Amino acid sequence: MTEEKKGERKAIQAAKEMGRIMAAYFYELNDAAQTRSKKTAWCTSVGPAEILRSLGFLVYFPENHGAMLGATRMATDMIAEANAIGYSPDICSYLTADIGAFRKGVTPLSRAYKGIESVPKPDVLVYNTNQCRDVQDWFAWYSRELQVPLVGIETHRGVGDVSQTHVESIAKQMEAIIAPLETVAGQTFDLEELKRVLTLSRQCSELWKQVLETAAHAPSPLTFYDGTIHMGPAVVLRGTQQAVDYYTLLLAELKDRTANDVAAVEDERHRLYWEGMPIWGRLSAHAKMFAALRTCVVASTYCSSWIFSAFDPDDPFTSMARAYTELFIVRSDESKERYLKQMIDFFHIDGVIYHDAKTCPYNTNCRYGMPQRIEALTGIPSLTLHGDLNDLRLISDEQTKTNVEAFVEQLEEKKA
C-alpha cells in the first residue's frame, strides 16, 4: 500500500440524507419554540421518548447537545462556567459543558444550522436514571433555572437478570408520569397513538441493530466512528417514520458493501471493540489513527445502547420498562461480561479497547478488574485508554497514540 493510501476510509453515501433529516429535526424544534405551535419535552437519551411523542411533544435530547459540544471541541471552554456555580469538574462533562454553554448563551446548533440561535426552550423535562444520577441533577438545574416542571423515572441499577419485579415497578412509574405530562401537553393520552409510536421505535431499533451487525462481516463495511455519527436518528428520531426510512437506506448501502467486500478501512488487518464513551473531540483523529494502522474498530457497547429489542406495541408499558432496564449500563458486572463475550465472538474481535472516561464512571467498565476477567475468559487482549468524552484537558494525544501503536503491534505479533 502506498503512503498516501494508508489511513484511507470509505465515506458512507447515506450521510447526506442523514444530514438532511437531522437539519429538519432541529429546525422543527426551533420553529416550534419560536412560534409556540407545539410543545417541547427535553428527554434523557434512553428516557421514555415514545410516551412523549405519543402526547404530541417534540422531543429534544440534551445529551445529543452535549455530544455536539464535544465533537465541535467547544465543550472544554464551557465546563468552567458550570464549575463556577458549583458543578464539579469531576462530574459528567456533558452536564457541565451543556449547562456552561447555556449560561454563556452559545450552542453548536448556531454553527451547524443558520438561523438557530439557541437550544429550544422546554415545556417539560423528563429523565430516566437508568443510565446515571447525573441526568437527574442536570435536568433539575434547568427546572429551577427555567421554572419548568420536572418528571422522572428512577431505575434500579446493577441489575443481574431483569425480573418481573423490576419491570413492574418501572412500568408503574411510566404510567404515573402520564397525568402530569397530559397537563403540560394539554391533550389526553391515547394508548393507540403510543402503540403506533412504539411500532416505529421498534422498527428503528431493529434496523439499527442490523446496521451495526453488518460489521460482523470481514472486512467490516463500517467503523465505530461511522456508528457514532449515524446513530443520531436512533437517538433523537426513534418513534418516527424518518428514522425508519433512514436506516432502511443506510442498511441497503452497507449490505451492498458486504456483498462486494467493500471495506470501511482499506486493507483491514485487525478488528477492535470499543468499550466506553466515545472521545467526541477526537472522533476524526482517532478514525484516521486506527485506519493508518489497518485497524478497524468494528463495534462498541455505546452504539448498541439504542437497540431496544424488547419493545412490543401490544404490551407497551411492560415492554418499554423491560427494554429500558435491559440496557448494558443498568446491569451487573456479571451480565455485562456475558454480553461482552458475545460481542467479541459475534464480531470476530482481535482486541478490546476500554475507555476510562474520567467524568463518566457509569460508562467506564475497566476500574474493577473487568478487562482482566474478560481477557481470561476469551483470550482476547485489551488496552485501557485514559481520557474523557468531552473534557479535552483529560486526554493525552501522545500517550494515546503510543499506547494504541504498541497494542496493534502486539496484535500483529500474535497473528504472525
Instruction: Report the interface residues with ligand SF4, using CB under 6 A.
Output: 63, 92, 94, 131-132, 134-135, 277, 360, 362-363, 389
Measured in residues, the chain has a length of 416
CA distance 68 to 80: 17
Give min distance, CB of 92 to ligand SF4, in A: 3
- Cβ at position 134, least distance to ligand SF4 in Å: 4
Distance CA 226, CA 297 (A): 10
Q: In whole angstroms, how far apart are CA 188 and each of 51, 152, 184, 385? A: 12, 19, 10, 49
Helices (H), 215-361: 224-230, 232-236, 241-259, 283-292, 316-323, 333-346
Nearer CB in complex with ligand SF4: 223/363: 363
Judged by phi (left if over 0) then psi (alpha if -120 to 50, else beta), residue 315 lies in beta
The number of CA neighbours under 13 Å toward the Cβ of 59 is 29
Q: How far is the CB of 245 from ligand SF4 (least distance, A)?
A: 28
Comparison of 277 and 343: residue with beta carbon closer to ligand SF4: 277
Q: Which is nearer to ligand SF4, 194 or 329 (CB)?
A: 329
Torsion of CA 195, 199, 201, 205, to 10 degrees: 140
Closest to ligand SF4 by CB, 96 vs 223, is 96
The CB-side HSE value for 18 (13 A sphere, CA atoms) comes to: 20
In angstroms, what is the minimal distance from the CB of 390 to ligand SF4?
8
Minimum Å gap between C-beta 56 and ligand SF4 is: 26
CB of 86 to ligand SF4, least distance (A): 17
Q: What is the dihedral of CA 221, 224, 226, 227, to 10 degrees?
A: 100
Give the largest Cα separation in the chain, rounded.
66
Cβ-based nearer residue to ligand SF4, 12 or 97? 97
Considering beta carbons, is residue 223 or 305 the nearer one to ligand SF4?
305
